[in-house]
Chains A and B, each alone.
Chain A
Amino acid sequence: KAGVTQTPRYLIKTRGQQVTLSCSPISGHRSVSWYQQTPGQGLQFLFEYFSETQRNKGNFPGRFSGRQFSNSRSEMNVSTLELGDSALYLCASSLEGLTPQHFGDGTRLSIL
């Protein structure tokens, strides 16, 4: 069974730009969660989608948004990029939004 797939693996952007990251969950999983991982803050929850609806959101500014499609694939968008947005962005999927969650290998975003 294929795992969680995230694309692209690496991205370099400049301040002020916007970026879209993609996540394909494990087949049959309907819940997709997004996390930001940095050396200083560790893994922090961004938001969760289930059946194309955002059910839960972490403490991040509105520049961070997402969506989920009918096939459960999800995208995350960050607008007006700031230097502090440099991080590893991880996507995780689960059957229904309860544990256990399975993670992809992430997208490494670097802001210049």
Chain B
Amino acid sequence: QKEVEQDPGPLSVPEGAIVSLNCTYSNSAFQYFMWYRQYSRKGPELLMYTYSSGNKEDGRFTAQVDKSSKYISLFIRDSQPSDSATYLCAMSEGAGGTSYGKLTFGQGTILTVHP
């Protein structure tokens, strides 16, 4: 079983819809949680970065972390065709030992927003 599970989709929604993406994980040592967006032929772009449990909002994007359930979510409001991309969740343990510089990723969810 993978440390981080993410539904690969694909997910297709109409423009203006609210999109919900989520990941579950098994490693209770994860403390930092990220969402990246990756367009075709490009590297992942950092969208949201949160520490421990709670919510964080940035424009149309809201990230939620529930450490007790080992579950994280990304919500996209008023989705646009330009949001069509692969969305990757990523996690890390924090400082020290074998955690330096290491992100553990989900498989990615392919999202298409059609006009």
Contacts and interface: CB of A to CB of B under 8 A. Distances in A.
Nearest to A4: B43
Interface string A69-112: 00000000000000000000010101001111111111000000
A8 interface: no
Contact of A99 (B32, B42, B45, B105): B32
Contact of B46 (A44, A98, A100, A104): A100
Contacts of A50: 100-101
Interface in A22-45: 31-33, 35, 42-45
Interface residues of B, number: 26
A102 B46 contact: yes
Interface of B: 32, 34, 36, 41-46, 49, 88, 90, 92, 94-95, 98-108
Given A48-B100, A103-B46, 8 more contacts: A43-B44, A45-B104, A56-B101, A58-B102, A97-B100, A103-B45, A105-B41, A105-B42
21 contacts: A4-B43, A6-B43, A31-B100, A43-B90, A43-B105, A45-B101, A45-B103, A48-B101, A94-B101, A97-B100, A97-B101, A98-B92, A99-B92, A100-B34, A100-B49, A102-B46, A103-B43, A103-B46, A104-B43, A105-B41, A105-B43
